[in-house]
Homo-oligomer: A and B are copies of this chain.
Amino acid sequence: MVHIPNEPVPSPSAPRSVPTSADVARLAGVSRATVSYVLNNTSAVRISEPTRRRVHEAAKELGYVPHAAARSLRAGHSRMVLIPTPNVPVGPLYNQFFNELQWALSRLEYTVVQYGDLSPHGDEAARAWAELRPVAVLVPGGGLGPQGLAVLKRSGARAVVTLGAERVEGAHAVLLDHEGVGHSAGRHLLARGRRAVGVVVPEEPGLEMFSKPRLEGVRRALQGTGATVTELPLAYEEEAAARLAARWRPLGLDAVFAYNDEYAMLLMRALQDEGIAIPRETAVIGADDLMLGRLLRPRLSTVHIELPSGRDLAELVDRAVRDPGVAPEVHEVLGTRVVQRESS
């Protein structure tokens, strides 16, 4: 017996509900199967030209749009790549990288879902991510543990890529060597003959993940050289920078590595306003190589960070999705390179 769904009688002017393939079939006078064949251009089945036309016309008339969730439910997989929003204030570098990545993934016909994090602990969050049954998950910033990874894999994720300082066994990893950034900066300042190096550490919460390794990198670079490292907490505000600058001379520093270019610009300006000569009295170097660093005078020296291109990462994801059996790749990135300009 044909099953008749208890459809509500469509009153003529009621806002009719969203049309399904069954509606199209009805209007075209064919079966749902035929509709599917026609609209998906299934090559295994030949449908007569008049029928095709009728189906297309019916679909157009009703404004039919297939239901992606139903489709992937049936198919057993989706092409969704889930990327949790980092719950820390990210800089322009990350935003640019993310946009590039998203674009590249779109080109490969993935749908990118940026998932707004609320639960800070990755292993709980992973459950929420898994509910969406993404084919791949790209986790920035080390919020994933082995537990979380297991949940994701079990729920069908064919590729999990972490993007951060540490790797998780069993997942692909793009290792961001923040320690190396600090190390480059430290070595550079040392080579320029500096012996008392300040390191700006942002006070904004959530950035410790990046700022601590950068600080440690400087420490390592100066180890055993007799040069000193002084930690300098700084909020991203003009007033805070001015206060730090006001007590600068007593600190006895002859160089400063400022976490990134934005903090570097902020501090350098404050130092100049205080009458401190740069680089003569104090050398300044930032990181991230932002365009704007070139606009100050002296031009800001910086540690350029070689992020993987969005395209490369998208291709890594795609490879992993196509062949989930492949051994997890670990990409050491962040080729760091000092760009010496005039401030150091």
Contact = CB atoms under 8 A, between A and B. Distances in A.
Interface of A: 17-19, 63, 65-70, 72-73, 78, 85, 90, 92, 95, 99, 102-103, 105-107, 111-118, 127, 130-133, 150-151, 154-156, 236, 238, 262, 265-266, 269, 291-292, 294-297
A92 B291 CA distance: 13
Q: How many copies does the complex hold?
A: 2
A265 B292 contact: yes
B102 A114 contact: yes
Q: State the 7 A-B residue pairs at the shortest beta-carbon distance, nearest first.
A: A106-B116, A69-B69, A68-B131, A114-B114, A269-B295, A65-B130, A63-B154
A221 to B, nearest CB: 28
Given A18-B155, A265-B292, A295-B269, A116 B102 contact: yes
28 contacts: A18-B133, A18-B154, A18-B155, A63-B151, A65-B130, A65-B131, A65-B154, A66-B131, A67-B133, A68-B131, A69-B72, A69-B132, A102-B114, A102-B116, A103-B116, A105-B116, A106-B116, A106-B118, A107-B118, A111-B113, A111-B115, A111-B132, A113-B113, A114-B114, A238-B291, A266-B291, A269-B295, A296-B296
A133 B294 contact: no
Contacts of A17: 156
A112 B112 contact: no
A200 B170 CA distance: 51
Contacts of A67: 73, 131, 133
A39 to B, nearest CB: 12
A151 B291 contact: no
Nearest to A133: B67
Contact of A154 (B19, B105, B111, B154): B19
Contacts of A107: 118
A65 B133 CA distance: 9
Contacts of A113: 111-114
A296 B238 CA distance: 12
Contacts of A291: 236, 238, 262, 266
A70 B73 contact: yes
Contacts of A105: 116
Contacts of A266: 291, 295
Contacts of A102: 85, 114, 116
Nearest to A151: B63
